Chain A
């Protein structure tokens, strides 16, 4: 009922003014700068870029500040901003094999070419709150060690050399790359669309689904074949220039999950795989994504479809937290007319109930 909304104009204006005041907090405390958010809350920025599906650290930091740290609200802001810009085209596919690796670990092989590089990680920390951080102070400078030019092949490439793992699907030049921001989803969806959906999907939702596969709801026996994080060069083929133009570098995280084997009458058994890729350092996200990507391949791999994580329509239509929050949160908007009609119906039903029950009482009284 829009009449009621119209009557709330002043209230809304003042509510937004109060929101801005609360966002700022105590004015005697210095205000956050975007650089502070980007530099010191970097993983929040990474999450907003991933799920906002827009790589721009400064915009993500601005969204986090404006959303008072509510990351789903920030993701919503980024998605809305994205719709205001023209798209120049699509980049050349990035080559994660050429990543300038900051972190790279494998849980399947101890000795891999290029080694296990821990990088900046929470792993192996004791998860004890550090009271020293309550005070300002610079940490020690990072340790340095000599580097080598030895290549760091993907672990799946190493397994692939012996044919022990399935090959990645080849591109079909006749089929355009699916884009769910341009065309509405229909099912069954190709793996390209599924990965695009998962890449922008809610981390918590994917984490829970990935976890459910580990607990037996669509088990697929995963090993973290490799997780790598670092900078990848990105290039764009610009028609007017006639060659692929280097645009700069993006920080990406990639997870290669190695899963239980599969063979057939014509193919020897080999490991199968699930894939995760996301903007920034988003390890939990890419691991969850890889588990769910693998689960969603159940039909293709001839597995029984028994669990939520294997149900493409269920997963893909509930993974987007902007859509989900829109529909859940719209419940708090005025539904006065809807509710009035429900109320009218309920009163009528109650009256009918009362009438029906009143009759025997009267009869009894009469007897």
Chain B
């Protein structure tokens, strides 16, 4: 994997985690870190994306319906530009994600962002997913048990 691809995957992974957790939790964790001077390259704004599905689940795409999305872009003093895109109308959250994205591209900050922000929030997201999966798993039908019970 080239350096660029590795960085891109890291950024995508951070975006995935941050888009799934409440903005307040990102903000709290960011507040505990030193954040270098930065400016808004694109002020937070809300809009729509057309969500696409596929015919039959795996065929040609079709337009399912729209979703609200917010986006923002931030530039660090060092020149790194970060982007934030997230479902919903919380422009502040898009800005936080953009700031994290910019910091991940800065060698001075990438490690701290990953360790103090992304990693704990990834664990939180995973915990929620595990709980949800465990709840669903408890409703899985076990036909064999039913047969034994009745026989």
Contact = CB atoms under 8 A, between A and B. Distances in A.
A18 interface: no
A47 interface: no
Nearest to A59: B68
B55 A55 contact: no
A3 interface: no
B60 A169 contact: yes
Interface stretch (B27-35, B114-122, B132-140): B132-140
Interface in B57-85: 57-69, 71, 73, 83, 85
B68 A85 contact: yes
B127 interface: no
Contacts of B48: 54, 82, 85-88
B1 to A, nearest CB: 14
A117 B137 contact: yes
A212 B128 CA distance: 42
B16 A246 contact: yes
Contact of A55 (B47, B68, B139): B68
Contacts, number: 230
Contact of B15 (A58, A85, A246, A254): A246
A200 B65 contact: yes
Nearest to B56: A168
Interface in B133-151: 133-141, 143
A243 B15 CA distance: 12
A324 B24 CA distance: 42
A243 B8 contact: yes
A234 B67 contact: yes
Nearest to A247: B87
Interface string A159-202: 00000000111111000011111000000000111011001100
30 contacts: A54-B68, A55-B51, A55-B65, A55-B68, A87-B50, A88-B49, A89-B50, A93-B54, A95-B54, A100-B129, A103-B139, A116-B140, A117-B137, A119-B139, A144-B137, A168-B55, A168-B56, A169-B59, A170-B60, A171-B61, A191-B60, A200-B65, A238-B83, A240-B73, A245-B12, A246-B12, A246-B19, A247-B49, A275-B55, A279-B65
Interface of A: 49-50, 53-56, 58-59, 82, 85-97, 100-103, 110-111, 115-119, 142-148, 154, 156-157, 167-172, 177-181, 191-193, 195-196, 199-200, 230, 233-234, 236, 238, 240-241, 243-250, 252, 254, 256, 273, 275, 277-279
